[in-house]
Amino acid sequence: MNTMKEHFEEEAKEFDRIVCNLIPHYEDMINALLSSIPFDKTQPFHTIDIGCGTGTVAKKIKEKFPNAKITCLDFAENMINMAKAKLKDYEGISYILCDFSEYEFDKKYDVILSSLSLHHLGKDKKPFYHKVFMNLKNGGVFYNADVVIGSSEYLEKLYLSNWKDYMAQSLSDEEINQKWLGRHRKDGNPEKLMFHLKSLEEVGFTDIDVIWKYYKYAVFGGRKKEDSKQ
C-alpha cells in the first residue's frame, strides 16, 4: 500500500477532529466551495466530490440542496466508511473507492468539486483538469478548495508562517514541524494559484475566478460554456 494512502486510512477516524486544527478557516473554505454551486435549493443536479474524505462536503451539499445526487470518491476505504456513516440518513449518494489519478469518469456531471485533495496529483494537475472539463455537462462548474504555494519566495514564507502560527494554537512544535509540515513537503505537491488558473483556462474553462483565499488556501474554479462542443 502506498504511504500516502496508508496515512489517510489511519487518519480517517481522527480526521474530523484534527482538520479544524490544521486548516485555518476550514468551515469558511468549505462554505465558499458550496457557494460556487449555481443551482437553486430545490433543483436536482448531479455532483461528484473527488477525495471526499469523511463526507463533510457531501453532507453540507445535502443540507443545502436536498435533491442533489452526489458521488463520493476516495481511495481510502476507512474514509469512505466514515462518509457512509455520516451520510446514512440521506438518499441519492453513491460511493466510488478509487485512486482519482486513475479514475475514468462514468458519466458527465453538473458540478465537480474537490477539497484538500487534488494537490496530491503532482505534475498531472493540468491533464486532470482537462479530464474534469471533458466530463462536465455544458454549463457545469468545477471548483477546487486546496493548498497553494505563494507566488514569490517572500509570499510562500509568509503563508507558511501564517499556517504554522495557526497550527500552534492547538498543536505542539514537534507535531507541526515533523508530522504536518514534513508530510506537506514530502507528499504535498501544491502549485501556485496562477498555475491552476492558467491551466483551467488552457483546458477550456471560462468564468475562471478565485472565490475565497486565506494565505495558503484558496477556492477557485470555472465553468464549461453552455455551447461547448467538447
Ligand X SMILES: C[S@@+](CC[C@H](N)C(=O)[O-])C[C@H]1O[C@@H](n2cnc3c(N)ncnc32)[C@H](O)[C@@H]1O
Q: Which residues bind ligand X (CB under 6 A)?
A: 8, 19, 51-53, 56-57, 74-76, 79, 99-101, 115-117, 120
Q: Is 40 exposed, middle or buried (CB count within 10 Å of its CB: 0-12, 13-18, 19+)?
A: exposed
Please report how close the Cβ of residue 226 comes to ligand X at its closest, in angstroms: 28
Rounded Cα gap, residues 117 and 132, in angstroms: 14
Nearest distance in Å: CB 27, ligand X: 11
Q: CA torsion 5→109→31→10, rounded to 10°?
A: -10
Residue, CB closest to ligand X: 53
Q: Which is nearer to ligand X, 205 or 217 (CB)?
A: 217
Which residue number, 128 or 159, has a Cβ lying nearer to ligand X? 128
Instruction: Cell numbers for 182, please give them.
Output: 514534513
**Nearest distance, CB of residue 59 and ligand X, angstroms:** 10
Hey, which bits of the chain come out as E strands? 46-50, 69-74, 93-97, 109-115, 136-147, 206-214, 217-223
170 contact partners, CB below 8 Å, separation of at least 6: 21
CB of 211 to ligand X, least distance (A): 16
- Our CB check for ligand X shows the closer of 11 and 228 to be 11
Dig out the grid coordinates for 9 from the structure. Answer: 486510512
